[in-house]
Structure 1
Amino acid sequence: MKSPLPVSYSKMKQTRLVLPPDTNHLDTIFGGKVLAYIDEIAALTAMKHSSCVVVTASIDSVDFMSSAKVGDALTLEASVTWTGRTSMEVFVQVSADDLLAGQKVMTTESFLTMVAVDQNGKPTEVPRLIPETEEEIRLYETAPARKEHRKSRSTLR
């Protein structure tokens, strides 16, 4: 069995510049571009936590609260919020910084489920998680309800 790891061990942060090819006719970033960035940082975070290759099992929710425009610095922050036997829930927050105006807004929040796989593509065990801060504990304690919601969605198919 792998030793438990604190949430802080695998936290990741990325910053990207919003460029014209990333945007729509309103000069705001395409939602699909943001989703690709979210998936990438979630995978990196889960790989660091598990020391394994991971696959995206689900993008549970994506809430777009505001948009980012050309020239903004898009900052993505991700952390593992809960672990199962082979899966990890990852929470990603995205903010947009207008560096010239000195304004920062939260643009997107998302929960994803990543599964660690071995060299044969079979799910493999991941380390348990040790939440430390109040926010980490809150996300950890509310994860089972999100898992149940995921399960109820999948039975509707």
Structure 2
Amino acid sequence: MKKYKSAKESRVSITELMLPQHSNFGGKVHGGHVLNLMDQIAFACASKHSQTYCVTASVNRVDFLNPIEVGELVTLKASVNYTGRTSMVIGVRVEAENVTTGKLRHCNSSYFTMVAKSKDGKNAKVPGLLIKNKEELRRFARSVERKMAVYKRDSKYDSKKIKADEYLEYLEGENVKLSLD
């Protein structure tokens, strides 16, 4: 296994036709189907980079920007944005294409944290990321910022350290009633 790999070496893309069985009650492609495809491509990209089985540890914010219609082609693109010791952040972009007009729409982008696993189920070391251009540097730095923000948020709201009085102002203007025991 290489010590470092470029994002290009692990990049993956798939295109799939959206069929009626992929639709929700509103006639659009079901968000759950899109999420399933995103998880699959994140797995493929992470496994290609690490050369081992990977599992999804977390998904960072999923915004459905545009609906996808039955009959459209959906292309998913995945790339390694960040590597830790045993984890990788995989950026996934979803685009829909109207086959009759050729018009492309960006429908979703998300970040999947994937963890490499050894044959015995333990976390496995992954190759580092070889950054080759400013865009890859930007993606790596953004992943580090997201990681630090999650740590800061999780530690700020640690249930053992929370002081209720510090959060009362958050209730103002919200649809909530406070009734602490």
Provide closer, same or farther for how the CA distance between residues 59 and 119 of structure 1 changes in structure 2, counting only shifts above 3 A: same
Unaligned 5+ residue runs, structure 2?
Answer: 159-181
Match of 1:37 in 2: 37
Q: CA deviation at 1:2?
A: 4.3
Is 1:65 the counterpart of 2:65? The answer is: yes
Match of 2:108 in 1: 108
Match of 2:164 in 1: none
Is 1:74 the counterpart of 2:41? The answer is: no
Q: Secondary structure at the match of 1:136?
A: helix
Q: CA deviation at 1:7?
A: 0.6
Contact 1:55–1:116 (CA under 8 A) maintained in structure 2: yes
TM-score (norm 1): 0.94
Amino-acid identity (%)? 38
Q: CA deviation at 1:41?
A: 0.2
TM-score (norm 2): 0.82
Q: What letter is aligned with 2:55?
A: V
Q: What letter is aligned with 2:145?
A: A
Matches within 5 A, 1:7-18: 7-18=7-18
How far apart are the structure 2 equivalents of 1:110 and 1:133? 21
The farther-off stretch of 134-143 and 45-54 is 134-143
* Structure with more contact order per residue of length (Cα contacts < 8 Å, sep ≥ 6): 1
How far apart are the structure 2 equivalents of 1:150 and 1:54? 21
Unaligned 5+ residue runs, structure 1?
Answer: none
Is 1:147 the counterpart of 2:179? The answer is: no
Aligned-pair RMSD on alpha carbons? 1.5
Q: Secondary structure at the match of 1:62?
A: coil
Q: CA deviation at 1:131?
A: 2.1
Q: Could you list the runs of 4 or more consecutive aligned residues of structure 1 that deviate by over 6 angstroms after TM superposition?
A: none
How far apart are the structure 2 equivalents of 1:120 and 1:90? 24
